[in-house]
Structure 1
Amino acid sequence: MKIAVLMGGTSAERDVSLASGLAITKALRERGHEVSVVDTAAGFVAQAEEQDLLPGGVKSAPPENLDRALPLIDIGQIEQLRNAEIAFLALHGGDGEDGTVQALLELVGVPYTGSGPLGSGIAMDKDVTKRLLRDSQVPTLPWRVARWPDFTYDPDTIEDLVGMPCIVKPARGGSSVGIHVVNDRAELEAAVRDASQYDREVMIERFAKGRELTVGILDDQALPPVEIRPKKGIYDYESKYTPGMTEYLCPAPLDEEVVAQVQAYALRAFKVLKLRGYARIDFILAKEQLFCLEANTLPGMTATSLLPKGAAATGIDFPELCDRIVRQAAR
């Protein structure tokens, strides 16, 4: 098939997106597909120049001061994209994960991988996600949101309803960019101010110490859970993308009842958030209670990312996983 892999862009997750996109491109070519690379910040990238996109791999901190992305209409006019049978979305954050690019592709008539505009927009917004999870009896931690322009919040409400310590993070974003663990009121204001650089809404959520788990969804089936054990306490950007800073166990060493429950919650979240194709749903297991944290509609897709780990545990290697996602989108 003729496939255009969309990657890059100018979100804080650009480097992660490039790593995913280049890995997907290699895997799809191994499966015999004709693959073109499109960087949504620059346009079509010739095959001889692809490896220059991410020299040295993903750094331990997100990139800063990125140039403006191509206007969406220009992306829609790129020949390699318009002529593709499938667009494989390897974008993380920004327009690529909030439903905007998905809506554009529907307008220009190019089928694409992953969720549609509505599901993408819902899952990108952690506040809306948690409201839907709560109403669907998927347990989630208490939270409040501070909003643009002044990002005000009531410290008493935070202490009473959310509690200390708490997590502060952009309400729309991924890769743990702008995340903080706050231990008291004195730290809260600075954390909210920093997170507000990345989004117009900042989430303040109860911190639950426990086992971090994630469940991939593929073809409406829940994959084996992966347990994430960061070596420095919090699974932040550095822990995610610096080799050796996090241990991953797949399948996670859990009782059968817990596995069944977390997979059931993951599938329920997948459906209620109106997702399709594939996704990854994150949880915390704290004091024998599961809490759903968020959904990732375009999870990391390198050979060592979390969704591929879950797929590998069922005998699906990375090239086959990419191929299945493409054929699923074609259907």
Structure 2
Amino acid sequence: MGKTMKIVVLLGGNSEERDVSLASGAQVANGLRENGHDVVSLDPAHGLVGLSEEEELLSGSLPRTPSLESQNVSPSMKLSEHLDTLNEADIVFPVLHGGVGENGTIQALLDLLGVPYVGSDLLGCAIAMNKDVTKKLLRSANIATPDWILANTVEEVMEVLDLPIIYKPVDGGSSVGITMVTNKGSMEESLQNSFRHNSLFMCEAFVPGRELTVGIVGRDTLPVGEIISKHEIFDYECKYRPEMADEIFPAEIDEETSRKVSQIALEVHGLLNLRDFSRIDFILDEQGTPWCLEANTLPGMTANSLLPKAAEAAGFSFQEFCERLLLIANDRID
């Protein structure tokens, strides 16, 4: 292990992925603390997280914090009360999923404060969080990605795509809100629901095949993984209920395919201006073509998450993996 550092782990936040972030952040904080670091956990939406609350999270419970709606506050308001905590840190480790934690807002704040942090910066986070922008960049670089459209009516969608289609938020993560649409009626219902919530959704061509994922750490790829979902698509339930999907590391694919997918993942990582670590998701179709779906700048770090499983397949314990990410960021900063 390197030098002992004072680290602030950011977890929680106010997005729909708050629960996943709390679980991920508690795991990371515990891993770094076991490595001998001085770790403080900070929830942008509620403030400092105590050790007893972390223990609840590690045991699978959620901390007893009041709802965000009842307080009528934004995460930035709570975070502004703890600027001294951030400024005193040697480095910040964001483990926030979705919303301001992953779209570049928190990263911009840390940049303004001059506080170093693990992971991608404002630009990389903003690009990767917006699936429409991501796919436009992929297409411009001749990287295969399924056809898609941002549409307001069923007619607009049907002019471009055939059923079934994948309906997903443009700026969501953890597979929140992703559904497969198989008929015009359910598509109309999905569109109306997005209008009610003032949300931006996209329709994407469904590509049948095998779901693959590639973790990137520094300039290296981790073993390619395969997700075999009990549902037609790898949705939120399958991602966070272990019995709903088999996650195989390394994937049972030939060496040439593994090398090809890994190389494309590295290209995507660079194209989107990502740094330190990421996870890139693919569909491998029946002809052996990898179709890039999206990039994740802050992948889940729970016991059931894909990136730690890939790291384990590469020979890293969870504590070693956290330390590796910390050292990569620290070397970049130095």
- TM normalised by structure 1 equals 0.91
Contact 1:10–1:66, Cα closer than 8 Å, also in 2: no
Partner of 1:42: 46
One-letter amino acid matched to 2:304: T
Amino acid at match of 2:16: A
* Contact map agreement 2:94 2:101 (CA 8 A) in 1: yes
Q: Aligned pair in 2 of structure 1 residues 92, 105: CA closer, same or farther (>3 Å)? A: same
Q: CA deviation at 1:66?
A: 8.1
Write the distance in 1 (CA, Å) between the matches of 2:194 and 2:21: 21
SS at structure 1 position matched to 2:279:
strand
Q: 2:129 aligns with which of 124, 132, 142?
A: 124
Question: Which residue identity lines up with residue 272 of structure 2 in the other structure?
Answer: L
| Contact 2:211 2:228 survives alignment (8 Å) | yes
Q: Quick one: distance in 2 between partners of 1:301 and 1:72?
A: 23
**Deviation string for 1:101-147 (max 9, x for gaps)?**
0000011111111100001000000000000001111100000013x
Question: Could you tell me whether the CA contact under 8 Å between 2:14 and 2:68 is conserved in 1?
Answer: no
The aligned runs of 1:158-237 (5 Å cut-off) are: 158-196=157-195, 200-237=199-236
Native 8 Å contact 1:102 1:117 kept in 2: yes
C-alpha change, 1:127 and 1:324, in structure 2 (3 Å) is: same
TM-score, normalization: structure 2? Answer: 0.90
Mapped contact 1:28–1:323 kept (Cα < 8 A): yes
Q: Which residue does the alignment assign to 2:311? A: 311
Quote the Cα distance in structure 2 between the aligned partners of 1:66 and 1:314. 44
Of the three residues 21, 31, 51, the one matched with 1:17 is: 21
Q: Which residue of 2 aligns with 1:26?
A: 30
In 2, are the aligned partners of 1:13 and 1:174 still within 8 Å (CA)? Answer: yes
Provide, for residues 198-257 of structure 1, a one-character-per-residue CA deviation record: whole Å limited to 9, x for no partner.
663211000112111100000111111110011232211111111311101100000111
Over 3 Å counting, the alpha-carbon distance change for 1:57 and 1:214 in structure 2 is: farther
* Contact kept? 2:23, 2:60, Cα under 8 Å: no
Deviations 1:163-209 (CA, angstroms, capped at 9, x unpaired): 11001111001111111111121111112233456663211000112
What is the Cα deviation at residue 158 of structure 1? Answer: 2.2
AA in 2 matched with 1:3: I
Identity rate of aligned residues, in percent? 47
- Work out whether residues 45 and 76 of structure 2, in 8 Å CA contact, stay in contact via their aligned partners in 1: no
Counterpart-to-counterpart distance in 1, 2:199 and 2:14:
17
Structure 1 pair 219/201, CA: closer, same or farther in 2 (3 Å)? Answer: same
Whole-angstrom CA distance in 2 between matches of 1:255 and 1:297 = 27
**Structure 1: how far apart are the matches of 2:321 and 2:143?**
28
**2:108 equivalent in structure 1:** 103
C-alpha distance in 1 between matches for 2:194 and 2:320: 38
Contact kept, 8 Å, 2:169 with 2:202, in 1: the verdict is yes
- SS of residue in 1 equivalent to 2:242: coil
Q: Does the C-alpha gap of structure 1 residues 251 and 57 become closer, same or farther in structure 2, counting only changes over 3 Å?
A: farther
> Residues of 2 paired with 1:121 and 1:109: CA distance?
19
Q: Counterpart of 2:108 in 1: which secondary structure?
A: helix
SS at match of 2:53: helix
* In structure 1, C-alpha distance between the alignment counterparts of 2:299 and 2:93, rounded to whole Å: 12
Provide the rounded CA distance (Å) in 2 between the counterparts of 1:203 and 1:101: 25
Q: Which residue of 1 aligns with 2:142?
A: 137
Matched, 1:254 2:259: no
Decide whether the 8 Å contact of 1:122 with 1:128 is kept in 2.
Answer: yes
Whether the 8 Å CA contact 1:76–1:82 is kept in 2: the answer is no
Matches within 5 A, 1:275-286: 275-286=274-285
Q: Secondary structure at the match of 2:39?
A: strand
Change (3 A) 1:66 1:237: farther
Distance change (3 Å), C-alpha of 1:81 and 1:133? same
CA distance in 2, matches of 1:51, 1:249: 29
> Structure 1 unaligned runs (5+)?
147-151
Cα deviation, 1:263-322, whole Å, max 9, x if unaligned, reads 111011101101001000000112222100000000001233111111111111111111
Q: Which is further off, 67-76 or 114-123? A: 67-76
Deviation at 1:52, TM superposition (A): 4.2
Contact in 2 for aligned 1:9/1:69 (Cα 8 Å): no
